[in-house]
Structure 1
Amino acid sequence: MFRKMVNLVIALSLIIGAGFIGADSAPKVEAAETKLPFKDIEKHWAKDNIISAYNSGLIEGFPDGTFRPNDVVKADQFVAMMLKAFSKTTDGKTEFDEDWIMELADKRPDTAMKLGLLVRNGFDFKPAKSGYWAKPFIDLLYEVDYLPTFDEIFPKNYDVYKKQIKREQASYLLGEWYTQYDNTLDPYYADFVTTHSGLKDFNTFTNTSVKNYRAHVLLAGIMTGYPNENFYPHRFVTRAEALTLVQRLCDKTLRTPYQPDLTGQYYAEVQGNIYLISDKFKYDMYNSMAELAKKHVTNGYISQDGLGFAVLDSKETADKNDFLFRLGDYEKLAPVDLSVGVGASTTRLLMLVYPINKKMPYAASYFDSLLNLFTGNDKGTELKAKIISIEKTVGTKPVEFIFNNRKFSLYAEGEIFTLAMKY
């Protein structure tokens, strides 16, 4: 309820108001009409996609009645197409799609607010009236912090955007957008897919940060390989391909997510995302944490993020904290009874975070059960006595100790203690 109210406030506050827009063979978009808007797309694989994009105002053709689907696009044309994919044109006026703004306000309220400010200051999806035509589109990327001005692949240098774009560069722009505004993936899972994609040239990306999102766009189904099991990261992107990619970026129904073979792997599925777990001990501990949470947290609310659990008083508080965290307003976060989880990637670590004042009205029983779990043989009461004795003198520097042949460390930061167990 809290986030819905905030989203409504943000959406109502946005005075949103637009271009030149310009093979991954794609799931075809249903054409809205049979009459072809361009004379050179009749036998093209992206015909239906092109028709749909034309009808929605996403693309325009050339004065001679062609679309030239096989022409290569430049990075600035690709960026303009990306932005316009999240817009709607009504009576000649192009605005950001209100539904997308509402969704963005939930995931990235800071970005939604910045977009509103930029629109009020004049961004309208139109090319610059003088000078470099794509300047308004490119400037927006940095003004909303989509990219840092010093980005390795696309720094704020207009000459970079005037060059033809390759598939590896497209994957970078699409992946950056996907991970910021759509979904985040477990990096360990992404690494696994990078080496188990089945694509013969997936390791031939340029050895820079341009390769950061290759697994993300593949898993999301925004980009795919070719039937001959190649990705072709160094091929240039055509107008038809660019159109197809940005359509998938903004419309989940057009994607065909890659599904790797996870036979023999330890993993958990959390809110639709896969998290790989590096070893059986960590996998068993994670599942035990989940089972103990269900058993012992009877009045509070269990919030899960990745391979960790947090206990709060209610879902409303958890949603509010999540929103404030995304907004960057950390001082207003409501206190958490405790949080516990297993280390990411191959880290051989378990962590338990709890308040210094020991006030855990919804998780006291869960806390004791976790200490039993950490000891390995129900010696939680003894471990509790041990850490209480250490708490009296511990600071930000971890105090390491051995208990029941297991390695522990304890340190304090602010109003919380962190107990870690290495194995």
Structure 2
Amino acid sequence: MNSEACCKKMLANLDNSETRRAFLRQSTGLGLASLGLSLPSANAQGSSVATLFLKNPKAKKIIYLFVDGGLSQIDSFDPKPQMGDVMMNTKVIDTKIDGVRYAHYFPMLAQHNDKYCLIRSMSTGTASHGTGVYVTHRNYRPGTANHPPIGAWISKMLPSLNENLPKTVAIHERSQGIGSSGGFFGAKHAATTIPVAANGLPAGKQLAQVSEDRASGRIKALKMLNEEFHHLNKSNFVRDHMDVLDNTLALLRSPDFSAFDLSKESDQTRERYGDSKLGRGLLLARRLIENDVRFVEVTTSGWDHHNNIMDEMSKMGPMLDRALAALITDLQHSGLLDETLVVLTTEFGRQNHISGNKGRDHGPGGYCQILAGGGVKPGLVYGETAEDAQGVKEKKEKVSPDDFFVTMAYAMGLDYNKKYLSLDKRQFSMNNRGKGSPLNSIFAAS
């Protein structure tokens, strides 16, 4: 018996009682699992706070590189050689910009820092991984609502540039829902998730292993259950999932599906990005941006260096250095850097002093970010962390998560103060309570 017939028989054997309703409620768990696919994991109001708009915003897309664990600022882009022994084995090297020095793990980015803006005064004010990760993705503290991450805001506020591809993609995230969910905007604004960049979108390979007749039967059965469930619940979220199913199936049959296939890249290109998850992730991000995906997040994990930070940075620093330098260079050569904002960020920095295990503990006071392209001034260095790692050197240059969030929105020409209703009818904007101001001084004059 095929899937469609089986589904009809099951429904026919259930009466219109609570038993049938319970079955249909549980049926939502069937989802796309039978196809080997997965779904990505809802009201505008006026704004009471004035929004600053960039005269001619250039950014149309964002690549958001998240360094998960807390990248040490003193061992990357804001070393403190004057502090002597606390630098341990970290050496300091010159960069393309006179007077600006980096840790020796990043020689390629050092020679390309005339192509991007370095912010040395970012602070989330927390030493908690959970809170820091949440805030850097959503600009709110956890617990008050299921806030949308930055990709979901962009999906909600901007039209698609390529109807055959998702607006947002999240590549090898450590935690489902941090940057990939749609928050209270729902499934249609959630990211398509890629666990391993080298494998592309596994659903395509899995669907290819199923005969056309069997796949068609499964899809019809799934749609039948979804329609029945929607009829009973009248939920917009059910309709969102149904729409996502249709979009996913269309993607798998689209010629643009090849954007997810890294085998299309030459061995030489893959070598430049490096044979690492991060290298493959940023290479895939570049391919997706080339095919007009609006927002791509790439997560690199393993940066919580409480122990043996010198050994860890010797391995991981060059990996990050190589991959990000290759991405920025490729985007510049293709002309896409002008319309693509590339962001490197983390949830907090690290203490400058050395812990008992030759590592550095969490430092909520200040850390570094990189912003490239999208109209940002290249070669600019903004702010500096304090020597005691308890804050930033000049308070007036401190960048909060609110400032960071609205700066990304500002680059794209978005009204970051525009309010939307959550599921419980509360108003939220990208700019948490209107506290943030864009760093308009880091943008080139139009």
State the TM-score bracket (shorter-chain normalisation): under 0.3
| TM-score, reference length from structure 1 | 0.23
| TM-score, reference length from structure 2 | 0.22
Which fold has the larger relative contact order, with Cα–Cα distance below 8 Å and residues 6 or more apart in sequence? 2
**Which structure: larger Rg?**
1
